Amino acid sequence: MIRGVRGATTVTENDEKAILQATIEVMREIQQKNHLHPDDISQIIITMTNDLNATFPAKAIRDLDGFQFVPVMCAQEIPVPKGLPKCIRLMVTVNTSKNSGEIHHIFLNDAVSLRPDLSLTKEHETR
């Protein structure tokens, strides 16, 4: 079955190193919590808010072991007024036998405010 795994995080500044590190952190967490191997991943779509443009976050994913052949695409998030600033979002399309309730969506840093209804988000708030 094909499922989407959401992930999001924020950075404090429009800096290449910060964007790459944050992207790696959220992707590794998605991979670990969902027990994913790169071969399980069909594609990854990454968006960033318009206040981030120092680098392509896909660069971070492509440098991870095993991800060289995973299609990754970047886009700009819709600039909604009062939206969460400096935010990086991932939609990871995976092949899995898990049902939708078994998927762990990952929200880190200020992005926990995007989906406080998810149990994993609540787990991160207590850290």
pLDDT score of 124: 46
| 3-class state of residue 73 by DSSP | strand
Instruction: Say what the pLDDT of residue 126 is.
Output: 43
Report the 10 Å Cβ neighbour count for 32: 11
Query: Residue 95, SS3?
Result: strand
- What is the rounded distance in angstroms from the CA atom of residue 82 to the CA atom of residue 98? 35
For residue 9, what are the domain limits?
2-122
String of b and e for 64-87 (b: at least 16 CB within 10 Å)?
Answer: eeebeebebebeebeeeeeebebb
Spans of the chain below 70 pLDDT: 118-127
* pLDDT at residue 123, rounded to an integer: 54
DSSP state of 115: -
**What pLDDT is recorded for position 87?**
98
Task: Report if residue 90 sits inside a domain.
Answer: yes
pLDDT reported for residue 7: 96
Q: Give the chain's domain count.
A: 1
Q: What is the pLDDT of residue 125?
A: 44
Asked if residue 127 is part of any domain, the answer here is no
